[in-house]
Amino acid sequence: MRIFLIFFVTIVCVLKSHSQQLNHDIGIYTGYASMQTDYGQRYNTASNIDLTAASFSIAHSLYFYELQRSWLGRKDLKNHILLRTSINLETKRDLYHNGKWVNGTGITSTLLRAMKGSVKSYSAGIEIEYHFRDLSDFNSSLGRVRHIISPYISTGVNVINYENTLTSDLGDWTTNEMFLPEKYRLDTAREIGKGNAIGLSLTSGIRFNILRNLDIDTRITLNLYNSDFIDGINADVPENKDNESLTSFKIGIIYRIRDSNGFKCF
């Protein structure tokens, strides 16, 4: 967690130290996240809903609509974008196989039903957020509100730190691998413990201005990771070919700050 706090503070300080008394905000979010893993039945909505966990975030956003000089090429583009940094916590989620493959009475179905796992993670990310409406018209602290709803899309990158586990109801698989389904018995099919991965985030959301400096933000985010071992397993079979991904829905409350006196980190 410490590395993510350092990352977050460093990014914010660097951005603010080069800003021209820009506006910024701080947001706190809560919601749910569903991880698409090698557990369950892939592309099965009911299966994915079963593997959800609580999700929490702290975010900082920096606006550019009051820049005197536009380094973005188009003069109006800076009025529609903001730079967002965040720290995210996904609480521990229990993983298990479900769907049609575990409903049988054969040995494979029995081994799949007995197989259990878990994963918890922290992540830190940075993204560019594009609002379809002019953000300066949305900021009521400037006294020029022309709309109270601002839809947006965003994309960015994030680094995730995770820890996973693997157990079997039939016994200790570390001493007897026969307790695991055949495709997970190879050492190359398992990476249990801690690890890191890089993700690409794609977000769609809507912000609502409710008070002078207060907004409500609703966002749906898809994170695509470069690893298939976040859940701890990755068998060399067609049904386990896709990397892990995470879909989250969050609602946040945002406090907007007008930085009229500059910003100091220390």
Pair 226, 185: CB distance under 8 Å: no
Q: What is the pLDDT of residues 160-191, one digit of tens each?
A: 999 999 999 999 999 999 999 999 999 999 99
Q: Is pLDDT above 60 for 20? A: no
Q: 145 vs 17, which has greater pLDDT?
A: 145
SS3 (DSSP) at 250: strand
Q: Average of pLDDT values for 14-20?
A: 49
Closest among 180, 163, 162 to 171, alpha carbons compared: 180
Residue 146 in this model has a pLDDT that exceeds 50: yes
Distance CA 46, CA 126 (A): 31
What are the residues whose beta carbons fall under 8 Å from the beta carbon of 133, sequence distance 6 or more?
80, 147, 150, 151
pLDDT above 50 (res 35): yes
pLDDT of amino acid 264: 45
Question: pLDDT band at residue 123, thresholds of 50, 70 and 90?
Answer: very high
51 closest CA partner among 92, 100, 110: 92
Query: How does residue 265 score in pLDDT terms, banded at 50, 70 and 90?
Result: very low
User: What pLDDT is attached to residue 51?
Assistant: 72
Q: So what's the pLDDT on residue 69?
A: 52
pLDDT score at 261 = 46
Distance in angstroms (rounded) separating the CA atoms of residues 28 and 56: 8
State the DSSP string of 76-114. Answer: TGGGTEEEEEEEEEEEEEEEE--SGGGSSSSHHHHHHHH
Tell if the pTM clears 0.75, that is, is over it: yes
Please give the pLDDT value at position 89.
Answer: 93
Secondary structure, 3-state, 37-74: CCCCCCCCHHHHHHCEEEEEEEEEEEECCCCCCCCCCC
Fold (CATH) for 2-258? Porin (2.40.160)
Cα angle vertex 190, ends 185, 195, to 5°? 170
CA 94 to chain centre: 18
Please give the Cα distance from 241 to 188 (Å, whole number): 14
Domain boundary assignment for the chain: 2-258
What mean pLDDT do residues 74-86 have? 84
- Amino acid 266: pLDDT: 38
- pLDDT at position 160 is 95
Q: What pLDDT shows up at residue 12?
A: 53
Q: What percent of the chain has pLDDT over 90?
A: 54
- pLDDT of 147 reads 75
* Confidence label for 19 from pLDDT (cuts 50, 70 and 90): very low
Mean pLDDT for the chain overall = 83
Instruction: Give the DSSP H or E segment for 11.
Output: helix 2-17
